[in-house]
Amino acid sequence: MGTVKRTFANNLLTSGKIDATDGLSGTIPATNLADASLTNVTSFPSSLGGVVSSVASDPPSPSEGQIWFNSTSNVLKQYSLVAGTWATGGNMGTARRELSAAGIQTEALAFGGFITAVTGATEEYNGSAWTAGGSLSTARWAAAGAGTQTAGLSIAGYTGVNITNVEEYNGSSWTAGGSVNTARRSFAAAGIQTAALAFGGFDTAATGATEEYNGTSWTTSPGSLNTARYSLAGCGLQTAAVAFGGSTGTTTGTTEEYNGTSWATSPGSMNTVREQLAGAGIQTAALAFGGDTGSPTYSSETEEYNGSTWTISSGSLNNGRRRLAGAGTQSSALAFGGETNPTTLSAATEEWTAGLQIQTITVS
């Protein structure tokens, strides 16, 4: 190597880019250009046309559609959108149903639920395995969860009666928080430990009651769900939440969005009506999975919400189940626990991956 002939300037910038801004035509002397000089060229001027960069390691923040050659692994790679899939993760230590959850895929929290009796057991997930955490002070099931692994919320639930008790998790132990105004079970929640939202559920009947938490106390929102229901799922923030699925006595796929004051029914209802499902994500990018559709087998179907409509994903849970828990985002979610039939509890964990990803380009 030593001669590069094209219409560009005869110099290389210290950043590793070839400068062709002045339109000069020339030859780079061999003494000024070694093979190693082009090892990590990360970008080229448009005058060179379509060029694939050669880099020693994958770019930390690639752009959608970007293609490069990894000279260390000797493979061609791209950053592009891929369909979501579920993969097996580490099993929970305790199989259970109607448990609660908080956190993200690599830092999730599972707590409470029902085994052969109500439990307060808490487990923490690190992206591959579950370990035991501090148990709830009040064992419960059919509660709602919100927050993160190190700042979680266990809200109300059922001990044999509906309760109002709320507990806060600090990453190792649970302590009492402010009690909700409406004792309930089988409802949904969204938000963080200091700004949470609880909605729907069952008190003496299906309810649409909505409450907001400020980290100390709960305030009943003037805006109740338009469709009172229980066994629903939800996700998002206190001021931008979404509620979907559930039962009014009849299974529904109705979806509603909360703006911090009131709920509005979305024009996009779920494609598959279901209850006792799980969800993850935010108001404009939500994920729904699992649940009971009334068929003999429990659902493994996954749907994605974009803020107005639901789309059935080609990626289904490996284990269809109901009364499970979910955590994470639309592109990186976690499903765990539940029951695969009325007599079989599940400890299975599945990890959902979708959206933009680095892929190796192969011949197919």
Sign of CA dihedral 265, 266, 272, 275: negative
Question: What's the pLDDT at 24?
Answer: 46
- What's the whole-number mean pLDDT along residues 180-200? 98
Place of tokens 């409450």: 211
Question: What's the pLDDT at 356?
Answer: 66
Tell me where in the chain the CATH 2.120.10.80 domain(s) lie: 84-355
* Cα(13)–Cα(47) distance, integer angstroms: 16
Question: Is pTM beyond 0.95 here?
Answer: no
Asked if 124 and 149 count as a contact pair (C-beta separation under 8 A), the reply is yes
Asked whether residue 25 carries a pLDDT value surpassing 60, the answer given is no
Asked whether residue 196 carries a pLDDT value surpassing 80, the answer given is yes
Asked whether residue 364 carries a pLDDT value surpassing 70, the answer given is no
- What pLDDT band is residue 42 in, cutting at 50, 70 and 90? low
Residues 307/310/313/317 CA torsion (nearest 10 deg): 90
pLDDT tens readout for residues 230-255: 999 999 999 999 999 999 999 999 99
pLDDT tens readout for residues 217-227: 999 999 999 99
- Exposure string of 157-192, with b = 16+ CB inside 10 Å and e = fewer, is bbbeebbebbbbbeeeebeebbebebbbbbbbbbbb
pLDDT tens readout for residues 161-175: 999 999 999 999 999
Strand order in the sheet with 310-312: 278-282, 285-289, 302-305, 310-312
pLDDT tens readout for residues 101-158: 999 999 999 999 999 999 999 999 999 999 999 999 999 999 999 999 999 999 999 9
C-alpha closest to that of 54 among 73, 33, 71, 67: 71
Question: What's the pLDDT at 160?
Answer: 98
Which architecture, in CATH terms, is 84-355?
A: 6 Propeller (2.120)
